Structure 1
């Protein structure tokens, strides 16, 4: 116990900024990876002799692997230590990025980007939020930390198309993966100053069977969505099978708890009403962000004939909007309740989607995308931080590994579902009609998030 206190003191001595910078950069690059390929659809499909759907599968599987392994990743923090797992995840991610950069075909790209980078992300992201929660303990400092991390995550997702577009046009789509590997190298160097606030417990139990059930269930669920445009019966069957496997996963967790064992995902995490509602809003926020990013990017390149840079520049409006609201998270948290921020965020984001559809229908000018994308980015940025804070602050330190894994799994599941749903609608026929259908579907799902946010507690949520 004294050693753990000494480690924590050493971590504080290094300075909060020394901890926050590599954590925020890690969230940035992982979110960047989820969206930067959206502007490379044409280049990759031509170079690797594949289709838009093939590239969509690579993107979706990457997001799915993250979602499927986030819960085990969070649990592994207890066993191997948060900092050690964080660094190991960086290495796996970096290897995947380099393999993707030299991929001769879609199969190798799937292995490097979707599998290795997905696994690496699932290893390094749960420690990001656990370390931030343990390092910043007051509502104000935690809001600031989550604000920076969420902002960098949102900016990574929103600016991914712009940065990826510039790199793709100036050099090659392969160079975008080299860029990721270089950022990973910088994070590895910066992470050398981070000290784990808690000592690892090598003897802690890890439920391998539960991890497999969780991963298989989520995979079947998203695979069902992807198959919807090709075979409805198979799609329904896959989603039903996924639901059954996830049901078996929850029953397994319950049985282990009754035997006095600590399961992969304690069901007590679902007894907190505020956290449950926060998880729902997180899922839908990322579903809207990644779903709209894929929809607009594919539409611009395939229907409008935009190049990678022009597509990326168009997305600058969303990046600016997200940055403005995310970086104001601390000030907004002092003036408004978390519920108010999440509600306002959904209203503004939904309005942004509606504006996107109406203006794009009215004119062929590229400026028509700017107001809607700005509103969408601003709304999502306003609610990313309070949603994370609501969930993480609902549990004490000894449950941070589980809730962090669950939180990130739910968010990344939203990302993969957003890309899968939007891509499935677009795949029917890339046109103005399918673009509008995909965007209005995302707005409708956003309305469900707005309803969930309305039931959040009206008071401020303080860390426990």
Structure 2
């Protein structure tokens, strides 16, 4: 089944994307559910809030750093094979995390194994969806479901994680992930790879190492901010230098006629470039807010996991409402308009989280801001993905899917690393540290709004 095959029915499309959408849900869930377990995990594993933050950030960073190489590997190993392999590695990581005796085991299970598994399985989700569904409108509808479930997974992660942690244990939350992985594996038995793998296709190993190392060192520098400013500056500069070297390397390979890890032609599309920026900043807002508010509620205000999760229901409700309306709205408004409106809702949401929380000790003061942020994200997560994916032909879907997912996961990483580091480094300052962290996220939200305004007014197919 390729882009040239007849259009599939909506019922067939649902069966095809069910395991793919569920995979996106659980990976996004994994990125946020630990936020409500900070106190429980740090106590049981004899570590600190910073230790849990490092584990969460390393999980997100592993995904972001390996997403581009993993996207390229799908051509060599096959899309379904990478998907199933990623699920298996992720499942093992979840089991290791559930049994972790200390922070070191959590980092191995959650940060590394689950991170590697996610990097392998996510690019095939978007590549297979693109190849399976030849009709552009149906494809956009499928992207809406997958991206929507990803957003819901991230937004509902604190609530589900809080319920499981309070009712059973934080370890049961990882067993829950392993159970979902088994279900996805069963559902994916009916999936086939529409395009044969190319095992002899060359793989740019040097490019893969440079891209992963550059991102890793850059984010490590941000995490080092609360320990040593000179070390932070050194690592950030080193990360930028390595990434510059990566782009020089892939450009050099292209000029000599060799296949590079990433085609520089992907960056020649202005609409896609700007949409990638909006994609990145959406996840900065979502994951940055999730970690900052969760950590503040637990460490400063003394809330338990379920209390924190319940407060986050506001974001989940907002995201669900606008996600359900997104299909209808996409028929009346352009993808660009929806992305702009999303940021217009998110920025005041951040402002409310600062203003209302500073004005009182009532925990419900978090609700209006979280609701607006959730509603804004529900409006724009799908349009941004649709704009990026639809800007390229089928033959480039492997590369653009890897780049798109890497950019989104890098946003999740940066949100947790930047806002989390500001809060954790000054946790004794309580409300002040919280306010500064949220203000930084608000500024980044304004940058996202400016980027959205710069999107060309080109028509992008909307879901049917």
- Kept in 2, the 8 Å contact 1:289–1:415? The answer is yes
Is 1:148 the counterpart of 2:139? The answer is no
User: Is 1:357 matched up with 2:357?
Assistant: no
Residue 322 of structure 1 is matched in structure 2 by: 319
Deviations 1:283-311 (A, max 9, x none): 10001100000000000001111010000
**Mapping for residues 169-248 of structure 1, pairs under 5 Å:** 169-248=166-245
Question: Which has the larger displacement, 128-137 or 229-238?
Answer: 128-137
- 1:441 maps to what in 2? 440
* Equivalent in the alignment of 1:415: 412
Answer yes or no: is the 8 Å Cα contact 2:7–2:133 preserved in 1: no
- Residue 109 of structure 1: aligned partner: 106
SS for the counterpart of 1:436 is helix
TM-aligned CA deviation for residue 46 of structure 1: 0.3
Say if 1:126 and 1:405, in contact at 8 Å, map to a contact too: yes
Q: What is the distance in 1 between the residues matched to 2:2 and 2:245?
A: 40
Any conservation in 2 of the 1:74–1:404 contact (CA below 8 Å)? yes
Structure 2 counterparts to residues 238-387 of structure 1, below 5 A: 238-387=235-384
Tell me by how many angstroms 1:328 deviates. 2.1
Specify every segment of 5 or more residues in structure 2 that has no aligned partner in the other structure, as ranges.
none
| 1:42 and 2:46 aligned | no
Question: 2:116 — aligned with what?
Answer: 119
Task: Give the direction of change, closer, same or farther, for the CA distance of 1:443–1:6 in structure 2 (3 Å limit).
Answer: closer
Name the CA shift for 1:8/1:53 in 2 (closer, same or farther; >3 Å).
Answer: farther
For 1:177 and 1:9, the matched residues in 2 are separated by 41
Measured against aligned partners, the alpha-carbon deviations of 1:341-366 in whole angstroms (never above 9, x if no partner) come to 11110110111111111111122112
**Closer, same or farther in 2 for the Cα pair 1:162/1:233, shift >3 Å?**
same
Find the counterpart in structure 2 of residue 453 from structure 1.
Answer: 452
- 1:93 aligned residue: 90
> Could you tell me the TM-score, scaled by structure 2's length?
0.96
Q: Which portions of structure 1, spanning 4 or more consecutive aligned residues, are displaced by more than 4 angstroms?
A: 4-14
On the 8 A contact 2:3/2:132 being kept in 1, the answer is no
Contact kept in structure 2, 1:143 and 1:333, CA below 8 Å: no
8 Å Cα contact 2:25-2:150 kept in structure 1 = yes
Contact 1:85 1:123 in 2 (8 A): yes
Q: Report deviation, 1:136.
A: 2.7
TM alignment of 1:161-172, pairs within 5 A:
161-172=158-169
Once residues 452 and 112 of structure 2 are traced to their aligned partners in structure 1, the CA distance between those partners, rounded to angstroms, is 33
Q: SS at 2:455's partner residue? A: coil
> What is the SS of the residue equivalent to 1:227?
helix
Contact 1:14 1:193 (8 Å CA) reproduced:
no
Change (3 A) 1:117 1:11: farther
In 2, the alpha carbon distance for the partners of 1:351 and 1:5 equals: 43
Deviation, 1:9, is: 7.8
Pairwise CA distance, 1:97: 0.2
In structure 1, how many angstroms separate the alpha carbons of the residues matched to 2:191 and 2:370? 36
TM score, norm. by length of structure 1: 0.96
Aligned residues: 460
- Answer yes or no: is the 8 Å Cα contact 2:6–2:134 preserved in 1: no
CA distance in 1, matches of 2:440, 2:97: 32
Partners of 1:370 and 1:17 in 2: how far apart?
34
Q: Aligned-pair distance for 1:13?
A: 11
Measure the CA separation in 2 of the matches of 1:11 and 1:201: 26
Residues 143 and 330, structure 1, Cα contact 8 Å, conserved in 2:
no
Asked if the contact 2:159–2:313 (Cα under 8 Å) also holds between the matched residues in 1, the reply is yes
> Is the CA contact (8 Å cut-off) linking 1:7 and 1:195 kept in structure 2?
no
* Shift in Å, 1:200: 1.3
Tell whether 2:18 aligns with 1:24: no
After the TM superposition, which residues 69-84 of structure 1 pair with which residues of structure 2 at under 5 Å, given as runs?
69-84=66-81
Change (3 A) 1:424 1:5: closer
The 2-side partners of 1:155 and 1:462 are apart by 23
Cα contact 2:7–2:134 (8 A) shared by 1: no
Given the superposition, is the C-alpha separation of residues 117 and 311 from structure 1 closer, same or farther in structure 2, using an over 3 Å criterion? same
SS of match in other structure, 2:225: coil
1:247 and 1:380 mapped to 2: Cα distance? Answer: 31
Superposition RMSD in Å: 1.7
Aligned twin of 2:395 = 398
How far does residue 8 in structure 1 lie from its aligned partner after superposition? 6.9
Aligned to 1:59, which of 48, 56, 59? 56
> Contact 1:348 / 1:376 at 8 angstroms: preserved in 2?
yes
